[in-house]
Amino acid sequence: MIALDDIDRALLRGDHGPAAVFAMELLVAYGSALGAPHFIPVVGAHVDGCLYHGAAGLDFVRRLVELGGRVRLPTTLNVGTMDLIHPELYRGDPAVGRAGRELMELHGALGCLPTFTCAPYQTMFRPRFGDQIAWGESNAIVFANSVIGARTARYGDFTDLAAAMTGRVPFAGLHVPGNRCGEVLFVLPDDAANHWEVDALAVAVGYLIGIRSGSAVPVIVGLPGDIGEDALKALGAVAASAGATGLFHAVGITPDAPDVATAFAGVRPAATIDVGHADIADALRRLSTVEEGTPIAAVALGTPHFSRAEFTRLMPLLDGFVPAPGVEIYVNTARDTLRAVEAELADEWFVRRASARLTVVTDTCTYVSCLMPRRTGAVMTNSGKWAHYAPGNLGVEVAFGSLAECIASAASGRVTRLRR
């Protein structure tokens, strides 16, 4: 039986209201199933359950609202079904849209913050190294654990919100220091950074560690030392999508891995996998279902959400750019990021957005909601996560490419590869 502290007993006793009792009872059952010895406090939460999947999720949140519940710590929200800023973009079943909107609004009634982003680490609520947090959303989990060095288990719907309602989580999973040690070593070619564009390399490596690591913690040697956060974001996102990665260590780059010995806590790797150029090329091929030259109907950028730095990279690519007839470009981003872009770039942004016919999507994402019209042709994306999920979710053919290749493809109307 999981041990309880005074605060745990107070939550169960009803000292903090009936909604907290409801949430804490769920966490006791969850922690007991995990074999956790006790609970620990968390300083923040990120809730993935505001995306509508059916009546169960709506009933769960309604019950907490009916019980007068309020979250006990800063709680950001993941993407929902609707773009509440641009509701006209929704093309799905109106009943699903209404339910999705209600679910998003009910989370707000609990005191959750209406961030509606899959990249909470790009907000003012970014955690610090060593912080214990309760985050849902696979890419956010792996980024927090790996790039920031915060500590979160892989929370799913209901448990993430229960943690936010109580401020307590079981001491299990990646909260436990011993579970954060590297287990499998991936060694990249010495010349990987010279041979591959960093965005493509990051996505390929993420895909490879996702499918080859299983639930083990991967350690990567050979990524370029100046790799940026957006590339690490992309790496973690596809690793978590293609596999069960909740944490990776990049030696000399991520904070828990200054060297190989530290990443493995002095223990020999269970396995060492040498990654060759052919492996990287094969991973990139597997993220595309169509060949170069295939006509495209759309480009989808920003899964996880496009960052402020990525908008900076995008702007010069739009100089003189005109999309081919029938090609639409979607940029998925957080509402706060969009506000920052509009404020900082002002007229330049609005002119470029209009001339390039960009459709900006906030609060949701094009691969989880009905936003993109059905048209003949594939979809080009710079996101390994989008490329991995969209064929199954949307029934579309897809081509993965760099940001520059996506814009070049939009201009030509066909999958276009840029040679280094």
Going by C-alpha positions, the residue among 204, 195, 412 that lies closest to residue 294 is: 412
| Whether the Cβ atoms of residue 53 and residue 140 lie closer than 8 Å to each other | no
Please tell me the predicted confidence (pLDDT) of residue 272: 98
- How far, in Å, CA of 138 to CA of 155, rounded? 9
With b for 16 or more beta-carbon neighbours within 10 A and e for fewer, the 215-252 pattern comes to: ebbbbbbbbbeebbebbbbbbbbbbbbbbebbbbbbbe
Alpha helices in 83-216 (DSSP H): 94-109, 138-143, 159-166, 192-195, 198-213
Q: How far is CA 307 from the centre of its chain?
A: 12
Q: Is 173 left (phi over 0), alpha (psi -120 to 50) or beta?
A: left
- How far, in Å, CA of 353 to CA of 361, rounded? 13
What is the enclosing helix (H) or strand (E) of 381? Answer: strand 378-381
Please tell me the predicted confidence (pLDDT) of residue 23: 98
Domains of the chain, earliest start first: 6-177 (3.30.499), 181-285 (no CATH), 288-412 (3.30.499.10)
Round to the nearest angstrom and report the end-to-end CA distance of the chain.
Answer: 59
Please tell me the predicted confidence (pLDDT) of residue 374: 84
| Whether the Cβ atoms of residue 130 and residue 149 lie closer than 8 Å to each other | yes
- How far, in Å, CA of 61 to CA of 101, rounded? 13
Main-chain phi, psi angles of 323, to 5 degrees: -70, 150
SS3 393: helix
Q: Which amino acid is at 72?
A: R
Q: Sign (positive/negative) of CA torsion 228, 233, 238, 240?
A: positive
Q: What is the mean pLDDT of each run of 10 residues along the chain (420 residues)?
A: 96 98 98 98 97 97 98 98 97 97 98 98 97 98 98 97 98 98 98 94 98 96 97 98 97 98 97 98 98 98 97 95 96 97 92 94 97 92 97 96 97 91
SS3 36: coil
Please tell me the predicted confidence (pLDDT) of residue 403: 97
| Whether the Cβ atoms of residue 303 and residue 115 lie closer than 8 Å to each other | no
What's the pTM value of the predicted model, to 2 decimals? 0.97
What is the enclosing helix (H) or strand (E) of 58? Answer: helix 55-66
Please tell me the predicted confidence (pLDDT) of residue 420: 62
Look up residue 74 and give its two tokens: 């800063």
Angle CA(214)–CA(273)–CA(216) in degrees, nearest 5? 25
Cis peptide bond upstream of 269, omega within 30: no
Rg (the chain; Cα; Å): 22
